[in-house]
């Protein structure tokens, strides 16, 4: 049942992606349009979604679960990073000019644009609440370890500044303060309702943006063997291992599924963005992103079903 529910939600998301794909092919969405919509998602919709997720009464069990989810979520990055270091020691991978991209794709996924919408659909706002720590950790790791795969390490002060000024981190701090203070500190009703409306844009807008990006890809991306390697590592191997490892943490069923779903998301769009910033060719990362995203229609429901069986949900 869990498999078919998650498959249904994935299909809905892919229909929304198809709309974005169609709009791109028909010229309704251009490169600048896609960039602008992405900026709206990152700087406005995403933070509103996070703040909205904290709109719930603070209980001791929720606070404990939130902290435990943050601890368990760190394994979502530490374990794949360690595995990527082992991968880079394989002679054939060592000689590959795209080895950094393979390692990056293995570790980092599209948890914000794919994971959050799916959790919203399957687990509701409570699931989104437990997805927030993963989103925070994703920003911390991707702007420290992740970016080092593409350029020389920058001063630690610059890294800290980028992390602290990230809109998702700021929204998390605001949301957590509101969560802990309870009824004593709340947005006026009109502001809270506006935030809720903007947060509801996350799923459709994210999927349309992803679909439009897929519409810009040219060539037979499915023939790329290295893209298939990233797809196997990111979509299947890493989330499967993490589904077992996370059983060691005393997480509630909702928190456990939220962390696993975030871990099961396909390759991060950052693989293309950071390649552009580093003046690297983007053909290969685009093929890997496209294949991994399309493959998620099968891989994510399978990972969710596995997690449900392991947890006895």
User: Residues near 181 by Cβ (< 8 Å), separated by ≥ 6?
Assistant: none
250-267: pLDDT as tens digits: 988 999 999 999 999 999
289-310: pLDDT as tens digits: 888 988 888 899 899 999 999 9
pLDDT at 20 over 80: yes
pLDDT (average), residues 230-243: 94
Least confident stretch, 60-69, 209-218, 273-282: 273-282
Distance in angstroms (rounded) separating the CA atoms of residues 271 and 104: 7
Question: 267 forms bridges with which residues in the sheet?
Answer: 109
pLDDT at 185 over 60: yes
pLDDT (average), residues 50-65: 80
Q: What are the CA-CA distances from residue 23 to residues 1, 18, 209 (Å)?
A: 33, 8, 10
pLDDT at 184 over 80: no
Q: What angle do CA 239, 243, 249 make, to 5 degrees?
A: 135
Are 172 and 132 in contact, with CB atoms under 8 Å apart?
Answer: yes
pLDDT (average), residues 230-234: 93
Q: Is 92 left (phi over 0), alpha (psi -120 to 50) or beta?
A: alpha
Q: Burial code of 263-281, b = ≥16 C-beta within 10 A, e = fewer? A: bbbbbbbbbbebbeeeebe
Give the global pTM: 0.81
Are 54 and 233 in contact, with CB atoms under 8 Å apart?
Answer: no
CATH numbers and ranges of domains, the chain? 1-311 (1.20.1530.20)
pLDDT at 273 over 80: no
116-167: pLDDT as tens digits: 888 877 888 788 888 888 888 887 888 778 877 766 666 677 767 777 777 8
CB atoms under 10 Å from CB of 243, counted, come to 23
């Amino acid at each position: 049942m869990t498999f078919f529910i998650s498959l249904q939600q994935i299909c809905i998301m892919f229909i929304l992606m198809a709309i974005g794909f169609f709009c791109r092919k028909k010229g309704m969405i251009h490169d600048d349009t896609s960039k602008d919509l992405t900026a709206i998602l990152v700087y406005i919709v995403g933070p509103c979604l996070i703040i909205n997720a904290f709109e719930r009464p603070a209980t001791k069990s929720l606070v404990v679960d939130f902290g435990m989810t943050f601890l368990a979520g760190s394994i979502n990055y530490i374990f794949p990073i360690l595995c990527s270091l082992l991968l880079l020691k394989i002679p054939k991978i060592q000689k590959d000019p795209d080895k950094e991209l393979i390692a990056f794709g293995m570790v980092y996924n599209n948890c914000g644009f794919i994971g959050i919408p799916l959790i919203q659909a399957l687990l509701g706002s409570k699931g989104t609440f437990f997805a927030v720590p993963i989103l925070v950790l994703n920003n911390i790791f991707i702007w420290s370890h992740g970016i080092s795969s593409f350029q020389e390490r920058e001063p630690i002060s610059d890294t800290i500044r980028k992390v602290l000024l990230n809109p998702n981190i700021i929204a998390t701090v605001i949301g957590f303060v509101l969560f802990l203070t309870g009824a004593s500190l709340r947005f006026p009703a009109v502001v809270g309702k506006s935030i809720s409306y903007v947060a509801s844009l996350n799923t459709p807008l994210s999927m349309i943006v992803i679909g439009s990006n897929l519409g810009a890809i040219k060539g037979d991306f499915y023939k790329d063997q290295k893209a298939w390697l990233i797809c196997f590592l990111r979509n299947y191997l890493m989330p499967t291992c993490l589904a077992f490892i996370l059983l060691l943490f005393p997480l509630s069923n909702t928190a456990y599924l939220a962390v696993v779903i975030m871990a099961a998301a396909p390759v991060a769009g950052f693989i293309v963005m950071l390649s552009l910033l580093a003046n690297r060719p983007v053909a290969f990362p685009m093929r890997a992103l496209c294949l991994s995203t399309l493959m998620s229609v099968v891989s994510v429901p399978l990972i969710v079903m596995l997690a449900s069986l392991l947890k006895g949900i």
